[in-house]
Amino acid sequence: MKTIISTIRHDEKDDEIYKKAAKILQNGGLVAFPTETVYGLGADALNSDASAKIYAAKGRPSDNPLIVHIADEEDLYKLSCDVNDYAKKLVKAFCPGPITMILKKTDMVPDTITGGLDTVAIRMPSHPVARRLIKDSGIYIAAPSANTSGKPSPTRASHVIHDMDGRIDMIIADDTVDIGVESTIVDISGDMPTILRPGFITLEQVKEVLGKAQMDPAITEGVAAGVTPKAPGMKYKHYAPNAKITIVKGQQDKVIEAVNRMAVESSRSGHNVAVMASSETAPLYTAGQVIDMGSRNDEAETARKLFAVLRQFDESGVDVVYSESFPTDDVGQAVMNRLIKAAGHTVIEVS
């Protein structure tokens, strides 16, 4: 398949791009587009043949449901039969924005995009390209991240082209994705609002708006054997580059010492080694290719860089990575959640 790649110019010439993309979506095709979190791979959510193409293009397991992207609050009532007070409060506080709500679905929503669940994930993105695409096409757009399943989510058009060129109808390129990690997912279909995936909007912020909220134990403790996680995506390998990542935690000077020692050993045994460090400590690492992940006081910067850095490891043939643990006060919650998954839960504590 020939993939149309169109770059947004932010002038009237863009009209043609939106027209073409809208037509493709209306005809059951696939269009990748930027959002404020990561690039999405969109199809008509109400057309099962169209959403089946998303699963095929990504190699995504069919039981891993998709997030439906809408433009306006009133669309919630079409997709959910129970738009409760939690939903109304979250919409008022955070929408449009990087939050996904899990709600009871209406019959209109096909089982094919919910993995057979009776709930649906709904998000109202704030990115102007995403918003215009939803409005111009008049379609509820089912869109997971536009990466090959298991790989880091795309934050740049080049990432989408790498994974999807030749597999989808169109890629809208506009490198203004500024958060860099996927939306916060909150399950509000039950009594206790539960974060199923941390994101830019934190547990504390959700708690402040709803009065109560909890983190799904599967996030903090991992998915226990024999347990079906609430977000089916949780059980799959994710964000993983080819490199083996080890996270090293503990007192700063001990971490630096341990990483320097392990990096030298790995280099000696022939590995191509990288170290992920904060701006403050990066100069103290003496072996491997040292990657500055941003200041420890700027969690947003680390979030913006994370997936691009993970992808770069594959490009440059890095096969062993040692990473510091980063602060988790704000979006760092989401950063560490992704990084731990990328590391396949390999975390060493030094003392």
Least Å distance between CB 84 and ligand AMP? 15
Among 247, 235, 256, 277, residue whose Cα is nearest residue 346: 247
67 binds, among Mg ion, ligand AMP, none (CB under 5 to 8 A by kind): ligand AMP
Size of the chain in residues: 351
Q: Contact letters (x/-) for ligand AMP, 293-312, by CB under 6 A?
A: --------------------
Q: Which residue is nearest to Mg ion (CB)?
A: 145
| Residue closer to Mg ion (CB basis): 30 or 248 | 30
Q: How far is the CB of 226 from ligand AMP (least distance, A)?
A: 18
Q: Is 233 in the site for ligand AMP (CB under 6 A)?
A: yes
Q: Which of residues 52-71 bind ligand AMP (CB under 6 A)?
A: 64-65, 67
Partner whose footprint covers residue 71, from ligand AMP, Mg ion, none (CB < 5 to 8 Å by kind): none
Residue 96 or 144: the one with the smaller Cβ distance to Mg ion is 144
Burial track 41-74 (b if 16+ CB lie within 10 A, e otherwise): bbbbbbbeebbebbbebbebeeebbbbbbbbeee
3 state SS for the chain: CCCEEEECCCCCCHHHHHHHHHHHHHCCCCEEECCCCCCEEEEECCCHHHHHHHHHHHCCCCCCCCEEECCCCHHHHHHECCCCHHHHHHHHHHCCCCEEEEEEECCCCCHHHCCCCCEEEEECCCCHHHHHHHHHHCCCEECCECCCCCCCCCCCHHHHHHHHCCCCCEEEECCCCCCCCCCEEEECCCCCCEEEECCCCCHHHHHHHHCCCEECHHHHHCCCCCCCCCCHHHHCCCCCCCCEEEEEEECHHHHHHHHHHHHHHHHHCCCCEEEEECCCCHHHCCCCEEEECCCCCCHHHHHHHHHHHHHHHHHCCCCEEEEECCCCCCCHHHHHHHHHHHCCCCEEEEC
Q: Is 145 in the site for ligand AMP (CB under 6 A)?
A: yes
When asked if residue 196 is in the footprint of ligand AMP (CB under 6 A), the reply is yes
Nearer to Mg ion, 80 or 145 (CB): 145
Minimum separation from the CB atom of position 301 to Mg ion (A): 22
> Cβ closer to Mg ion: 67 or 188?
67
**Judged by CB, which is closer to ligand AMP: 196, or 342?**
196
Q: Rounded to an integer, what distance in angstroms lies between the CA atom of residue 19 and that of residue 348?
A: 51
Closest distance to ligand AMP from the beta carbon of 244 (Å): 23
Which residue among 35, 100, 119, 145 contacts Mg ion (CB under 5 A)? 145
Q: List the x/- string, 212-231, binding to ligand AMP by CB under 6 A.
A: ------------------xx
Q: Residue from 36, 163, 174, 182 that binds ligand AMP (CB under 6 A)? A: 182
Residue nearer to ligand AMP on the CB measure, 37 or 266: 37
- Position of minimal CB gap to ligand AMP: 233
Q: Which does 120 bind (CB under 5 to 8 A by kind): Mg ion, ligand AMP, none?
A: ligand AMP
When asked if residue 42 is in the footprint of ligand AMP (CB under 6 A), the reply is: no
Which residues form the interface with Mg ion (CB under 5 A)?
144-145
Which residues form the interface with ligand AMP (CB under 6 A)?
64-65, 67, 102, 114, 117, 119-121, 144-145, 182, 185, 196, 230-233
